[in-house]
Structure 1
Amino acid sequence: MTSDLTRAEAVRDAALAGVPAALADLGNLVRIPSVAFPGFDPAPVRRSAEAVKALVEATGLFETVAIADAAIPETGGRGMPAVLASRPARNGRPTILLYAHHDVQPVGDESLWESPPFEPTVRGGRLYGRGAADDKAGIMAHVGALRALKEALGDDFDLGVALFFEGEEEAGSLSFAQFLSDHADALRADVIVVADSGNWDSRTPALTVSLRGNAKFRLRVRTLEHASHSGMFGGAVPDAMMATVQLLATLWDDDGAAAVEGLTERDTPTPDYTEETLRDEAGLPSGVSPIGRGTILSRIWNKPSITVTGIDAPSVVNASNTLSPEITVVISARVAPGQEAKSAYQAIEAHLRAHAPFGAELEFTGHEFGNPFLVDTSGWAVTDARAALGDAYGVDPVDMGVGGSIPFIADLVREFEGAQILVTGVEDPHARAHSPNESLHLDTFRNALVAEALLLEKLDARTL
């Protein structure tokens, strides 16, 4: 029988040797424009699921591999295709559920991309393309780690493994809870790895231990029954744009912090993080000041924020001397850990209704909610994960918060009570997920794949 050290070394060597193949497969996935948003062709999402299923089947490790979807509650519709695979544990070993998603964000303004968004392109040590980081790289980190485990230990290891590669995360995971319920037996696990977060920087790994929640909705502001001539009635009649601008301005104070009564914040220390680092990672020009109060990371991790992410209004090219009768905006609020998302939304709605100028009519629709999450870091899985990350990167990992949201984690906690949840990722701060020129840092991907392979080896040696 080989020693644990020899096993770990064999797994590491296999993982490193498998990185080129994993990156080639990632490139093929990036070429599939799997946008799951309403209004986009769903066929590429199905094609993406089929490609992922083929990669999973080729490992030869799973008893079952299938493409499945689930009903979207209260709509009569069905969600986008996900890939589901299952391999039972043996001899008292734990089961690990590996999660990632194969759908991607829309590309936005394609003219802002330096290379075609669905043509994987390597430059400057990074792989560029939509989904290259978020989150098809997460899928290939999982698949690459499993390949390494099989290469080093053979295909008869005892660790139980389940895979859930979702097809609609970017579009709101509308069928996620139902999917978990439908497939609870196949997905039930002792440890869950959600590979959809990031790292401290390109050299330093991290476990994500806190996530803000989100409350998103559409707001329609109406002041007129119909459009009117701005010269004939301007100065006496409030147009919807004026009312919308005045109303939205009440959401923030002079420092740019959220100014809504009833939104809470979490009081906890944060690591050192300089304004210079913020400017570099966020692309903040030297003449523009940061917003908010407190440490920079407390503003991002532990306090609420409100962003207007979309607006339906006359475009510049179509502008005319007209008073707009109504304007619609999309408001996305990030909710601090410790507050329920619906509670935060109720505070924002009450604020907007109380501050509506000129008696403007408000309509609230399109609600989406996701609760914040705090990881329990006391379990043995966190200890094993930290050790694997440190061994792979050669740098001790840090625990970090993330200002973004992964709403479905609340569903995982509810459905699989007692499972230890690890939120990891392949991204570095310059990945630009959701933005033009999204990219994957190749060294970070290599280390993330090796770290997960080492974690799988540790769990395969653990008896519950």
Structure 2
Amino acid sequence: MPEESASPSYSTIKETVAALMPELESELVELVRIPSIATEGFPSKPLFEAHDLIVSLLEKSGVTKIEKLEITGKTAPVIIATVPGPAGSPTVLMYSHYDVVPADDIELWDSPPFEPTRRDGAIYGRGTADSKANVIGMIGALRVFDGKPPVTVKLVIEGQEEFGSPFDNYPPEAPELFAADAMVIADVGSVRPGSPTLTVALRGSAQVIVELATLGADKHNGLYGGAAPDARLALIRALASLHDDNGDVAVDGLLREPWTGSSYTEDEFRTLAEIRDGLPLLGTGGIGERIWSGPAITVTGIDAPPVDGAVNAVASTARAVINLRVHPRQPATEAQAALVRHLEALRPFGLALTVTAGETGDGFAATEGGPAFDAALSALSQSWGEPAGLMAGGGSIPLVMALDTAVPTAEKLLFGATDGYANIHGPNERVLLDELEKAVVAKALFFQEYAHTFEGKK
């Protein structure tokens, strides 16, 4: 881009990104080929290969200040890079990750997961959408300005997001390293292709284990069934109390509110969730209220013998683990305590339950209406040519909460190149190249608009 174009127009940025796309696509393919899985049982070498490739791409983009952050414990290196902007410009921290989940169910993939394949305007492969396209999108935005953006950019790109990492809790220990005026968390995307969306909330999470023991050992149900207290039956009765007849959560003390932003239609949700024809959805209210601004309770594990080979016996013990998804603004420990109270108050068939509180993680609710928030909405709307909507995420991103604790004054913005149909963590994961291109344009426009807004408020 010519040096005299300090404030390129939207059309100039769009043309520049279009010219960059063949190279960005090639680099995305190269990155997706690397099976950078950061969990037990998989080799660590690919993680370092992905790290080194990203460093080389940053260097190619004119980034000279690149550091490797290594934290005590088994974790892949975190890339910390800084691209200085003009004197007095705001600082924007951009986050994403280069690790991926394993590609299970290989037979369900239409093409090998680590042999990225282009078809129907998309790149298919594990990690395309979650979240290597977002890494490439950040690099593309820097190239729009020849590595000299109108804001100071800090890049934080880690390699162990998917399975937990010491880095999840690190930012509050070194807040100066993450100091910024605004943060762009590029580990999300739009509600659907063609609909630009800013994610403004994430639900929290809490675990609870419930169990009971009623007999010294399992007993023959022909001899003892009907009078001996069956631990499994009692546990099932207790678990059934967690929802009403509509499928709504029936635990007092859990926050739920209507969702007024963008959301899936019921037909979209049925398609995405692969719900069998003719079956009802759980709960009442809008889809957004059920999956984002209200609680959800799932029994994620239960000790029980398999149907094949089952023995005719009264169960002497039973145990289940419950996952509670929490309204973004409700403290997870508060919600967990409400669930514990509910379970401890039950007496299924007169039996007391043993309830143990497990891990918790708070949700996140962004501050809306700040200069970075307004600049992001404008950038998304211009890039997609449609008014940007607001959505939430049902899953947690622990690092967002850690960054919010470390730098509470920074505006947190969540947007990226993926979309609700990308099938992240599933077979045939893909990213649409058109969405990636628009995301690069949006990031570049955001840099520019935020710099102007920030300057105007000085």
For each residue in 1:338-396, what CA deviation from the matched residue of structure 2 results, as whole angstroms up to 9, or x when unmatched?
A: 3111111111122223336463653636x332222222221111222122212211212
CA contact (8 A) 1:223 1:361 kept: no
Change (3 A) 1:313 1:89: farther
SS of the counterpart of 2:416?
Answer: strand
Answering whether residue 64 of structure 2 is matched by residue 62 of structure 1, we say: yes
Residue matched to 1:19? 21
Distance 1:230 1:373 in 2: 49
CA distance in 2, matches of 1:44, 1:360: 50
CA contact (8 A) 1:127 1:441 kept: yes
Q: Kindly indicate whether the alpha-carbon contact (under 8 Å) linking 1:100 and 1:164 is maintained by their aligned counterparts in 2.
A: yes
CA distance in 2 between partners of 1:430 and 1:161 (Å): 30
Mapping for residues 101-140 of structure 1, pairs under 5 Å = 101-140=97-136
* 1:364 equivalent in structure 2: 356
The answer to whether structure 1 residue 215 and structure 2 residue 206 are counterparts is yes
Which residue matches 2:338? 347
Residues 378 and 299 (structure 1), Cα distance of their counterparts in 2 relative to 1, 3 Å cut: same
Residue 79 of structure 2 aligns with an amino acid whose one-letter code is V
Can you list the C-alpha shifts for 1:159-213, whole angstroms capped at 9, x where unaligned? Answer: 21111112232224553222x1454333211110001222132011011122222
Partner of 1:74: none
2:406 maps to which residue?
A: 415
* Residue in 2 that maps onto 1:161: 153
- CA shift, 1:421, in A, is 1.2
User: Please, what is the CA RMSD of the aligned residues?
Assistant: 2.9
**CA distance, structure 1, for counterparts of residue 394 and residue 177 of structure 2:** 31
Q: Is the 8 A contact 2:168 2:399 kept in 1?
A: yes
Give CA deviations for 1:44-73 in whole Å, capped at 9, x if unaligned: 43443333333323323131332x2334xx
Identify unmatched segments of 5+ residues in structure 1.
Answer: 72-76
Match of 1:278 in 2: 269
- C-alpha distance in 2 between matches for 1:236 and 1:219: 23
Residue aligning to 2:377 = 386
Assess, with a 3 A threshold, how the Cα gap between structure 1 residues 112 and 91 changes in structure 2: closer, same or farther.
same
CA contact under 8 A between 1:32 and 1:48: conserved in structure 2? yes
Alignment-mate amino acid for residue 92 of structure 2: I
The amino acid that maps onto 1:92 is G
Please tell me whether residue 403 in structure 1 is matched to residue 394 in structure 2: yes
Residues 188/267 of structure 1: CA separation in 2 closer, same or farther (3 Å cut): same
The 8 Å contact of residues 370 and 408 in structure 1, kept in 2 or not, is answered as no
Match in the other structure for 1:246: 237
Residues 257, 322 of structure 1: alpha-carbon distance in 2 compared, 3 angstrom cutoff = same
SS in 2 for 1:425: coil
Structure 2: distance between partners of 1:69 and 1:292: 45
* One-letter identity of the residue aligned with 2:133: A
Conserved 8 A contact 1:12-1:454: no
Tell me by how many angstroms 1:305 deviates: 0.7
Once the two structures are TM-superposed, the CA of residue 449 in structure 1 deviates from its matched residue by 1.6
TM-score under structure 2 length normalisation:
0.87
Task: Select which of 262, 287, 295 maps to 1:296.
Answer: 287
Q: Which residue number corresponds to residue 90 of structure 2? A: 94
Aligned to 1:332: 323
One-letter identity of the residue aligned with 2:52: E
> SS at the partner of 1:405?
coil
Q: Is the CA contact 1:56–1:65 (under 8 Å) kept in the aligned structure 2? A: no
SS of structure 2 residue aligned to 1:445: helix
Q: What TM-score, normalized to structure 1?
A: 0.86
Alpha-carbon contact 2:79-2:156 (below 8 Å) kept = yes
Matched, 1:194 2:194: no
Aligned partners of 2:107, 2:303: CA distance in 1, in Å?
Answer: 22
Q: Residue type of the partner of 2:294?
A: K
Unaligned segments of structure 2, at least 5 residues: none
Q: Residues 433 and 191 (structure 1 numbering): CA distance in 2 closer, same or farther, change over 3 Å?
A: same
Would the aligned equivalents of 1:57 and 1:65 in 2 still touch at CA under 8 Å? no
The aligned length equals 452
Deviates more, 1:333-342 or 1:180-189: 180-189
Go from structure 1 to structure 2 and tell me whether the alpha carbon gap of 1:252 and 1:320 turns closer, same or farther (over 3 Å shift): same
**2: distance between equivalents of 1:99 and 1:163?**
6
Change (3 A) 1:39 1:250: farther
2:368 is aligned to 377
Distance 1:272 1:198, change over 3 A: closer
- Percent of aligned positions that are identical: 37
- 2:256–2:289 Cα contact (<8 Å) kept: no
Q: Is the 1:93–1:460 Cα contact (8 Å) retained in structure 2?
A: yes
Report the counterpart of residue 175 of structure 1 in structure 2: 167
Q: Quickly say closer, same or farther: Cα 1:26–1:247, change in 2 above 3 A.
A: farther
SS at match of 2:338: helix
Query: Does structure 2 retain, via aligned residues, the 8 Å contact 1:265–1:338?
Result: no
Look up the equivalent residue of 2:122 and give its one-letter code: R
Amino acid at match of 1:20: P
Give the CA deviation at 1:424.
0.7
Q: Does 1:256 align with 2:236?
A: no
Q: 1:249 to 1:454 in 2, by over 3 A?
A: same
Q: Is the Cα–Cα contact under 8 Å of residues 262 and 389 in structure 2 kept in the other structure?
A: no
Identify if the C-alpha distance between structure 1 residues 439 and 328 changes in structure 2 by more than 3 Å, giving closer, same or farther. farther
2-structure distance, mates of 1:166, 1:218: 31
- Give the Å deviation of 1:452: 1.1
User: How far apart, CA to CA, are the structure 1 residues paired with 2:307 and 2:168?
Assistant: 39
Matched position secondary structure for 1:364:
strand
Which digits, 9 at most, give the CA deviation of each residue in 1:261-307, with x for residues without a partner?
22111345355754223223332233111111222222222111112
